[in-house]
Amino acid sequence: MASSPDSSPTTEAMPEGGNNLLARLQAHRKVLTGAGIAVALILLVGWFMVESGRRREAAASGILEGAWGLQDQGDLPQASAEFQKVVDGFSGTDAANQAVLALNQVRIESGQSQIAADALTAFLATSPAAEHGSAANRLLGVAQENLGMAAEAAASYEQAAALATLGPLKAEAMLGAARAHRNAGKPEEALRVLRIILANHSESAVAGEAKVRLAELTRGGM
């Protein structure tokens, strides 16, 4: 009687190349898994940083809004304290930069122009964004005028105008520069700035005053 073939499957040895391929796939799977975890961690850390920054900015903005409200009510000491809280506790945020400007505006209004000038000079040394740099230079010009530093004020106003991104703000800063140049005994410089205002910003709110100042200076035949 012929023996029937064995019905159970036979296991053939995998060729050596197959073993190598399997090993490589397993190794690659470990690498890919590790890379996936790393990418996930990077994304998680990135999300956490963005979310933390957003919440920090929101908290700073809330205090800043309250401080502006106090300033509008005339409570300058308490407004200053709140502005300082934003500056100290939320450095690096947009709200903190705005708080620096608001705090030093209050200082100028309170007769503390020297303190404001020193603080604004230090703030400008950090190279803030153009918007904040322009505003800081304009406030510095005001403080310097109050301190009798007309020539320095003129330079600050001109820098404020150079950094300003909006025409009306540029024209306003330039009018301050013209005034400061005149007070510094430099009428030619004042004329130069006034003529720029009338040539480039004739529709601005300060154009009328610029015309008056120009007429005053040119009566001497300049």
Tell me what pLDDT residue 206 has: 96
Residue 38's pLDDT band (cuts 50, 70, 90): low
Query: What is the DSSP annotation of 63-86?
Result: HHHHHHHHHHTT-HHHHHHHHHHH
Residue 8's pLDDT band (cuts 50, 70, 90): very low
Is it the case that residue 9 has pLDDT exceeding 50?
Answer: no
pTM recorded for the entire structure: 0.73
Q: Is 129:92 a contact under the CB 8 Å cutoff?
A: no
Tell me what pLDDT residue 53 has: 64
Tell me what pLDDT residue 143 has: 98
Tell me what pLDDT residue 20 has: 74
Return the top range by mean pLDDT from 2-16, 42-56, 166-180: 166-180
**pLDDT tens, position by position, 163-222:** 999 999 999 999 999 999 999 999 999 999 999 999 999 999 999 999 999 999 998 554
Q: Is 198:207 a contact under the CB 8 Å cutoff?
A: yes
Fill in the DSSP letter of residue 93.
Answer: S
113-124 vs 130-146: helix axis angle to the nearest 10?
A: 150
Fill in the DSSP letter of residue 220.
Answer: T
pLDDT greater at residue 25 or residue 56: 56
Tell me what pLDDT residue 37 has: 66
Mean pLDDT of the chain: 86
Cα–Cα dist 72/66, whole Å: 10
**pLDDT tens, position by position, 70-113:** 999 999 999 999 999 999 999 889 999 999 999 999 999 999 99
pLDDT greater at residue 34 or residue 184: 184
Tell me what pLDDT residue 44 has: 57
Is it the case that residue 29 has pLDDT exceeding 70?
Answer: no
Percentage above 90 pLDDT, the chain:
68
Is it the case that residue 39 has pLDDT exceeding 70?
Answer: no
